[in-house]
Structure 1
Amino acid sequence: MRKHWKALTAVGVVILIVAVAVILINRPAPTTEQDPGPLQASGKFGFPVSDINIGEGGTTTASDGKTITGYNGTCDSAAQAAANYTHLIKDLNLGTWEQQKKVLTEVSKPGPWFEEVTSAGDLLTDAESLPAGAFDGGWYTRSDVAAGGMYRIASCEEKQGAVVQVFTGGVGARVNEAPNAFFQTVTFELAWDGDWKITDAAIVPVNQDFGGRVKDGGPMSVGTNMDGETAPVLRNELVSAFFKDKSRDGWIEYANAQR
């Protein structure tokens, strides 16, 4: 009886070993998660397209109820903050200028740059007589970030600092003439202080590099005439003209760029 029991046990062990072997042989090999590769050049003009949107990225707003704040400190959020702060640098409407300037102080740190980017608005506000040419309810300059719809992160360290360039469209007033559309690059230096704060900003002049912090001033539409109260949809010939003698390296389209 004992021999019979031992024999049955041995057979059972063999069957178990065979079953385990079959399972191991037929089990699919474990998969390894692939690191996402660099963004591919998939946009209309050959630039990579990001999955981040203009008008998003934060969880709160500034005192104007529209400027997005409350970012999480990632480099993607720095690119969104730069896009969402662009109107504070470029827009000029005397009816909203004081509020705009107040919001700019909320999302920035003091420095010589502040007086430089607000000087035109202050000059018009203090003028005894306003120049002709304001359009569509008192606008002298109105930005349209989605029309340009691109950014370049020159440098970034999460929750530390970043230098980001934003390519924006817009419309500017002209004395005794119809408004003129434009495209321009706004360059930001951002520092983390519980949120992204502007510590420097400029429309970088041609042949300058923001104190060595960017490759170049970025594309712009100088010399291209575009009448109208809205920035046109970009075309290949416009992009080629704007990027003439400018590096395309590092430029990425926002997911909701106007194309």
Structure 2
Amino acid sequence: MKKNWKALTAVAAVILIVAVAAILINLSPSPAPEARPGALQATGKFGFPVSDIKIGEGGTTKASDGKTITGYNGTCDSAAQAAANYAPLIRDVNVKTWTIQKATLAELAVMGPWLKGATAIGDLVTSSDQAAAAGFDGGWYDRTAVNAGGIYRLVSCDAKKKAVVQVFIGALSAQTKAAPLASFDTVSMELTWKGDWKISDALVMGEDRDFGGRVKDKGPGGPVPAASSGAVPMLTDSLVNTLFESKSRDGWAEYANATR
């Protein structure tokens, strides 16, 4: 009987300790949830979720041109930032600065056949006096306005490995004896981690393919003839509907500082 009593006392003591521990755990304050960069916020005016990722941010250094942001941390959010910041390197053409831009693009590229295609238009324009003469505002032939589009689709991503991102941009393109033509387009690129995000492939302007099966579609885009006044127009519901016609809206989100 004495042994049984001691056994029951020991069991009761263990139960009491477990109960007290459970109470203390429940009373302890829960750790604050970790902030998630790029978390999607309220829906924007065109029905796309709005991210807290901003164009023109994300890196800690700059490329040799002194303006393209580099030095990312390798997260998928940083891939979306890098894609926005790298888009002008793929699309812009200015006859006065093309040599610098081409060198910067090579600096941030994983060499491959895609690079020749991405620089073909710039090489052609800068070697043609007639094409160069059609430039506007100090040598521009194509000028990207990423904020004017301000939407991106992170198609796929494996942090610090590889990402495929599509960036919806605004743009101005030179016309002979006319104000530059405004348009919107999608820049699709693959990024590979090499100590920083590097461009390892890009869908060349004018190509209408699915990027080797890596994207759902080429993405929205098209000219805005009525806006040939030298400025990219503000997006409207009707314009978004037209540009996204027959294109999927799945996965698209707005950058936090898109022009609206």
User: In structure 2, what is the equivalent of residue 84 of structure 1?
Assistant: 85
Deviation at 1:39, TM superposition (A): 3.0
**What letter corresponds to residue 166 of structure 1 in structure 2?**
V
> How many Å separate the matches in 1 of 2:127 and 2:205?
26
8 Å CA contact 1:133, 1:140 repeated in 2: yes
8 Å CA contact 1:190, 1:199 repeated in 2: yes
TM-score (norm 1): 0.84
User: In structure 1, what is the equivalent of residue 57 of structure 2?
Assistant: 56
8 Å CA contact 1:204, 1:210 repeated in 2: no
Deviation at 1:126, TM superposition (A): 1.9
Deviations 1:29-73 (A, max 9, x none): 86586797x735511111011011000000000011100000000
Matches within 5 A, 1:97-136: 97-130=98-131, 132-136=133-137
> How many Å separate the matches in 2 of 1:226 and 1:131?
22
> How many Å separate the matches in 2 of 1:177 and 1:138?
15
User: In structure 1, what is the equivalent of residue 4 of structure 2?
Assistant: none
User: In structure 1, what is the equivalent of residue 169 of structure 2?
Assistant: 168
**What letter corresponds to residue 155 of structure 1 in structure 2?**
S
The answer as to 2:220 corresponding to 1:213 is no
Q: Which moved more, 1:224-233 or 1:77-86?
A: 224-233
Deviation at 1:203, TM superposition (A): 4.2
- SS of match in other structure, 1:147: helix
Name stretches of at least 5 consecutive residues in structure 2 with no aligned partner: 1-15
Name stretches of at least 5 consecutive residues in structure 1 with no aligned partner: 1-16
**What letter corresponds to residue 50 of structure 1 in structure 2?**
S
> How many Å separate the matches in 2 of 1:235 and 1:206?
26
User: In structure 2, what is the equivalent of residue 5 of structure 1?
Assistant: none
Deviation at 1:226, TM superposition (A): 2.2
Instruction: Calculate the aligned-residue CA RMSD, in Å.
Output: 2.5
Deviations 1:227-254 (A, max 9, x none): 1222111111110101000000000100
- SS of match in other structure, 2:192: strand
> How many Å separate the matches in 2 of 1:58 and 1:165?
19
User: In structure 1, what is the equivalent of residue 11 of structure 2?
Assistant: none
**What letter corresponds to residue 243 of structure 1 in structure 2?**
F
8 Å CA contact 1:146, 1:257 repeated in 2: yes
- SS of match in other structure, 1:229: coil
Aligned length in residues: 237
User: In structure 2, what is the equivalent of residue 181 of structure 1?
Assistant: 182
**What letter corresponds to residue 228 of structure 2 in structure 1?**
D
Relative to structure 1, is the Cα distance of residues 68 and 237 closer, same or farther in structure 2, using a 3 angstrom cutoff? same
Deviations 1:59-115 (A, max 9, x none): 000011100000000000000000000110111111000000000011111111111
> How many Å separate the matches in 2 of 1:205 and 1:132?
22
- SS of match in other structure, 1:49: strand
Relative to structure 1, is the Cα distance of residues 203 and 120 closer, same or farther in structure 2, using a 3 angstrom cutoff? closer
> How many Å separate the matches in 1 of 2:42 and 2:242?
20
Deviation at 1:118, TM superposition (A): 0.6
> How many Å separate the matches in 2 of 1:189 and 1:64?
22
- SS of match in other structure, 1:239: helix
Relative to structure 1, is the Cα distance of residues 207 and 31 closer, same or farther in structure 2, using a 3 angstrom cutoff? same
Deviations 1:175-230 (A, max 9, x none): 12221111000000000000000010114767621110000000102475421222
- SS of match in other structure, 1:64: coil
The structure 1 segments of at least 4 consecutive aligned residues displaced by more than 6 Å after TM superposition are 32-36
**What letter corresponds to residue 111 of structure 1 in structure 2?**
G
- SS of match in other structure, 1:85: helix
8 Å CA contact 2:182, 2:225 repeated in 1: no
> How many Å separate the matches in 2 of 1:48 and 1:77?
18
The answer as to 2:144 corresponding to 1:146 is no
